[in-house]
Chains A and B, each alone.
Chain A
């Protein structure tokens, strides 16, 4: 068992041992720590601490759980100018998996008696589940190449949204440095078949209502009034991102003997950022990140069309779109010196503080909106980045799983779950009943506890709580 030392409430340390280059730091309440004490996720925090060039600590967010290579909920930064590596496993298979939140002009009362038609329209308009198919079925290779280079900007240029959508998307809708030459033909073909699709697993589209305000000033500034209807979209870069991760892990495993790198888990395969393999991966990763953002933009267009079809519109405007699986080149102070770092966030969300120049002017006063999808049936949250946020300004990305899919299915009868959700006022449109059971609320940690831990640990602060009233799942 890994030995955790409670440094302060909500902050725990794993001492350096063996090949670890830095300590591990876990942000969590005692209750959340009790859930993970015997979990392989903590060994994964230790494994990440062995990566060449890692600085400060191998971090874990309060929603940490067992991944492969990196834990999910892990943050690690490497010093690029001191041989720091980039690891595709530190980004995850679903490159730029992320969340966006659309705010409507509707209140819950406005939808009374109209949820059925709205959910049917969303179910009809949102491609999801197994196999090919997407919102932009007529896209060709040239469109795909443009999406990989320009992300949401190309989707908007082709009529799937407006300039405001770009202003409020991380990186204004596109990561720079995308290199399509580093994306395999197989990845391109998987991507072309799925442009504008939700997928399955824990991905979803939810109609939500603002049901609690934690910070009135920020909530007002962001338009999060009590009772307001929102739409949260959680998905990523689909088969394209997964294939890029698979391809580049294979390439790096082949190069590691030459580079003199050994890792304790093959999924931690890595190469220096400043190497041919590192640059190749970052170019392909940027392309996948742009696909992920464009994917969410296309689903936004489909969502607006569904609202138009069923309730005559809704004035859906983007509050923010942020990835929680990504590596970014960022400048941070390490031991008082400004360093160029490659910050991996795998199942962790960047949380920029108030005044950060990367924020849109309209959001700069209060910090970056952090969108935390919870489990269906419980709640999701909007948080805000804070000054002095640790872990290179990172926070949680969701509730975090506590039960495996197997265990969830064993404990939950899907028909009963659906009935319970409907009884509590949550309309469900799911491709698979077992898939619904796999994502049952009891499979997740208590999202209220997770976000409260983030706030108590000084990673972010709570702004508003959102309760689902309609769930579309693949």
Chain B
């Protein structure tokens, strides 16, 4: 099995994600007009791999800060934060607002639902792999790809 070569070209201002097959795991392909928009899509895509949370009613906001660094490092760090919230706090981030500060650090405000409220629809991811990790400009926007260990 190979990763499809054809990937979406971000329309002007559009953000989105796609879950791509990987034999034992799953790859997230996200795109958007900015790096921050891509990181927001990563959070949505991650949750979509194993939950359907629309019906959940009890919501909280959790904020984290990610230090300045290369794009790929910030992406992996964001997923680390998501995993921590799931495993330790029992909260599943289903969406996020991501902002970049002048020093290059990033803040993410996660919209979370308790693990007890989500409907588990698939296997729960456990880590972000570095295999085929990419986060770069793509046409007029940005695109990232990350393989998630399931």
Using CB atoms and an 8 Å cutoff, list the residues of chain A in contact with chain B: 38-41, 65-69, 72, 89, 93-94, 129-132, 186, 189-190, 193-194, 199-202, 238-239, 242-243, 245-246, 249-250, 253, 265-267, 269, 401-407, 409, 431-435, 438-439, 474
Contacts and interface: CB of A to CB of B under 8 A. Distances in A.
Interface in B128-144: 128-133
Given A68-B147, A269-B130, A406 B26 contact: yes
Contacts of B62: none
Given A66-B22, A67-B24, A239 B126 contact: yes
Contacts of A39: 1, 23
22 contacts: A40-B1, A68-B132, A68-B149, A69-B130, A94-B126, A130-B50, A130-B92, A130-B118, A131-B115, A189-B84, A190-B84, A199-B124, A239-B88, A239-B126, A242-B149, A246-B128, A249-B130, A407-B21, A434-B121, A435-B50, A435-B120, A474-B123
Given A243-B127, A403-B23, 19 more contacts: A38-B2, A69-B131, A72-B23, A72-B24, A93-B129, A130-B51, A130-B115, A130-B118, A131-B92, A193-B87, A201-B126, A246-B76, A250-B73, A265-B132, A266-B131, A404-B1, A406-B19, A435-B123, A438-B122
B98 interface: no
Q: How large is the interface on B (under 10, 10 to 19, 20 to 34, 35 or more residues)?
A: 35 or more
A246 B123 contact: no
Contact of A434 (B87, B116, B122): B122
B80 interface: yes
Contacts of A186: 80, 84
Contacts of B149: 68, 93-94, 242
A431 B119 CA distance: 9
B1 A66 contact: yes
A83 B140 CA distance: 46
A401 B24 contact: yes
Contacts of B10: none
Interface in B81-123: 83-84, 86-90, 92, 115-116, 118, 120-123
A267 B50 contact: no
Nearest to B121: A434
A131 B86 contact: yes
Nearest to B116: A131
Contacts of B14: none
A19 to B, nearest CB: 18
Nearest to A407: B21
A404 B87 contact: no
Contacts of A406: 19-21, 26
B56 interface: no
Most chain A CB neighbours (cut-off 10 Å) among B21, B122, B149: B122
Contacts of A94: 126, 149
A35 to B, nearest CB: 11
B150 interface: yes
B122 A190 contact: no
A251 to B, nearest CB: 12
A239 B1 CA distance: 28
Contacts of B26: 404-406
Given A130-B120, A189-B88, A242-B83, A65 B126 contact: no
A40 B76 contact: no
Contacts of A66: 1, 22-24
Contacts of B123: 200-202, 405, 432, 435, 438-439, 474
Contacts of B25: 68, 405
Contacts of A67: 23-24, 131
Contact of A267 (B88, B121, B130): B130
A68 B124 contact: no
Interface in B5-63: 19-26, 50-51
B61 to A, nearest CB: 19
B119 to A, nearest CB: 8
Contact of A190 (B20, B87, B128, B129): B87
A46 to B, nearest CB: 14
A404 B21 contact: yes
Most chain B CB neighbours (cut-off 10 Å) among A89, A407, A432: A432
Most chain A CB neighbours (cut-off 10 Å) among B1, B88, B116, B123: B123
Contacts of A402: 23
